[in-house]
Each structure stands twice: as C-alpha cells, then as structure tokens.
Amino acid sequence: MHLLDSIAARVMRIGADPRDDDDLRARKALLVLISVLILPVAAMWGALYLAFGSPVGVVPLVYFAVLLGSIVVFSRTRDFPRFLLVGQVAILLAPTLSMIPLGGFLDAGGVGLWGMFAPLGALVFSDVRSAVRWHVAWLVVFLGSGFVGEAIGPVWEPVPVLFTTTMLGLNIAVGGTIFFVLLAVFAQQRRDALAALREEQAKAESLLLNILPRSIADKLKAETQPIADHFGSASILFADVADFTPWSERLPPAEVVGYLDQLFSHFDEIATRLLPRYPGASELLLSVGGTIRYVAPIRGNEKALGLDLLTFPAQKTEASLSRDSGKLTLAGPLDLVQGGEALAGRLPVFLPDADGEPAFWGFSEVVMRLP
C-alpha cells in the first residue's frame, strides 16, 4: 500500500511547477492521474481487437502513443493548457471515429462513449462555456460516426457478437469507474478548497473583530459604500489598569502586548462587570492611537466609535494635553454625540517600544453622565 501511495504521489507531481498556485497544482495532478489510468485501458482495448483479427485495434494503440507522448512532453514543458487540449482532441476522435469501421453504435460495443471525457475534462479543468462547446462537438462526432457506421456496415470481418457485447459492458463499467474517480477527486478537492476558504474567512472575521466592534464590522460587510458619519461632539471615557506603568516596566514588551491583547479582546465582558461597581460611571472605552475603538455598553453609543480625539476640533486640545503630559485629565460638562451631557476623564497609556522607551498607545477613558 505504501508503494502504491509513493507511485501515485510521483505520478501526480508530473508537470508540477514551484510557481503554480494550489488550484493549478491540483488540476495538473488530477489530469495526469486520469491520463495514466486511461493508458492501460487503451493498450488492452487495442490488444483485444487485434487478437480477434480487427485492424481497428491499431486506433487505441495510436491513442496510447499520443497520450503517453503528451505526458512526457508535459513533464518537460509544464504547459497545462496544451496538455489538456491534446488529451481532449485525442479522446474525442479516437474512440468515436472507430465506430465507423466497426459498423455503428451497437457493433462498436459503446466505444464512442469514451469521447464524453472531452467535455467532462473541459467542465472540470476549464469552464462551463468551454464544456458546452466540447459537448456539442462530441455529440456531432458520436452521432455522425454512429450513423455512418450503421450505413456502411463493418469495413472488415465483424468481431464475434459475444466479444461486442462484452466490450459494451466493459466500456460502460471501466469508463464509468474512471468517470467516478474523476468526479470523486474533483469533489474532494472542492470540499478541501471550501474548508480552506471558510478557515480563512474565520481568520479574517477574527482579525476584523479585533479592530472593530461587531456592530461596526457587520455594517461594513453589509454596505458596499464607505461609512461616513458626522460627529458634532464626542463622549470621553476613562478606565485604568492599576499600577500599569511600573508593571509594564518590569515585563518584556511581548508579554505586555499579549496581556493587553487579551484584555482588549474581552473588553465588553470586563467592562460589563466593572460598570455596576461604580454607580457614577455610565460608559467605558478604549481609544487606540486616540481613535475610539472600544466602548461599553455598545448599545446607544455607536456614534462615538471611530472618533479621532486628537484631530476632532472640540477635543483635540485637551486630548493632546493629556497625551503630552502623560497625566489624567478631566473635562466637562460635555455634549455627547450620542445625546446628553457628561463629565469625562482620560488617562494616556504608554507602552515600551523596541528600545524600551515609553511610546503612546492610546487612552483609557470613563464618562459620567449628568442628570
């Protein structure tokens, strides 16, 4: 079993290019696999017809040589479109045209059914429009060859009826098996691709929610045009991490950032637990780089999200003073953009940079509404 797996892996690497993307690499491997599976079938079919005295057996042997040659050339050129085209033309013409000297549909033992792999190949490896064209071509060649063969009858001595009926069963069984393998591998690759896509979408969703609240993220995904809101005034909030400055000085930057990442990821949960402990506080928020990114509770405070306190005319002077002084600042009463008046406090947060120097990260804030 290990040997077979090793051989299959080697075969499916034929024509592979390091520059191929995952999709092209998978299509190349699948086409090579199907081509290799058809090779022994063509050789056996040719040998059987020749053994029963029918010169038609030369046709599958010629097809065998063409297909084998195309695989060898593909291993060197890695030209996937040309390899696909040669395979489609060969499988379309070789079996279906064989119906003429064999005597038509039944006397040919259903050999023309193999021509269906031409449109199937286009459907799997190209696109639906191309597959439709190949299917029409197969119908024309199949029906034309069948009717011409019926009209002129067998060109050479007919093969025994038992052999013809046996070949009909084998063509359906073997062709159907390869057909099933092709669709099964294609379906598995499609499922794998969809699973990978869902995983990447989950990662993108997680990243987006690390930057924006879910309500804003959902709005961005639902609307195709940019979101632009006007803020006549802003709410200013305050929340402090006890002994943060001396604590952060004792720890490596990576550990500090990791702690804050965990803290911000659970901001809503933490803020919801904190607010009831301080009856005067109505909202908590974090502003990254001066821009409000997290607010709790989110309901009724959506308009505060995205406000840049360092550039907003009504707040930039006080926000800049807080940042430059590194101290807690208080302001109010303020008209909140979400409605009402409040007192607000803002504490600047500094994190050590790569050189260990304190660098401005943003503000933690609290708002206390006025009656």
Average per-residue pLDDT in the chain? 81
Look at domain 244-369 and name its CATH class.
alpha beta
What gap in Å lies between CA 146 and CA 150, rounded to an integer? 6
Contact 301, 295 (CB under 8 A): yes
Dig out the tokens for 200 from the structure: 């990447």
Rounded to whole angstroms, the maximal C-alpha distance in the chain is 107
User: What crossing angle do the helices spanning 128-152 and 80-97 adopt, rounded to 10°?
Assistant: 20
DSSP label of 304: G
* pLDDT of 243: 65
Contact 306, 291 (CB under 8 A): yes
Of all residues in the chain, the percent with pLDDT exceeding 90 is: 20
Contact 33, 12 (CB under 8 A): yes
Q: Is the pLDDT of residue 239 over 50?
A: no
What gap in Å lies between CA 46 and CA 57, rounded to an integer? 4
CATH 3.30.450.20 domain residues, the chain: 244-369
Q: Is the pLDDT of residue 250 over 50?
A: yes
Contact 45, 56 (CB under 8 A): no
Does pTM top 0.85 for this prediction? no
pLDDT per position as a tens digit, 190-230: 788 788 878 887 777 776 666 566 666 676 667 666 655 55
pLDDT per position as a tens digit, 130-139: 999 999 999 9
Residue 323 amino acid letter: R
Q: Which residues contact 364 (CB under 8 A, 6 or more apart)?
A: 237, 238, 239, 240, 241, 285, 286, 346, 347, 349
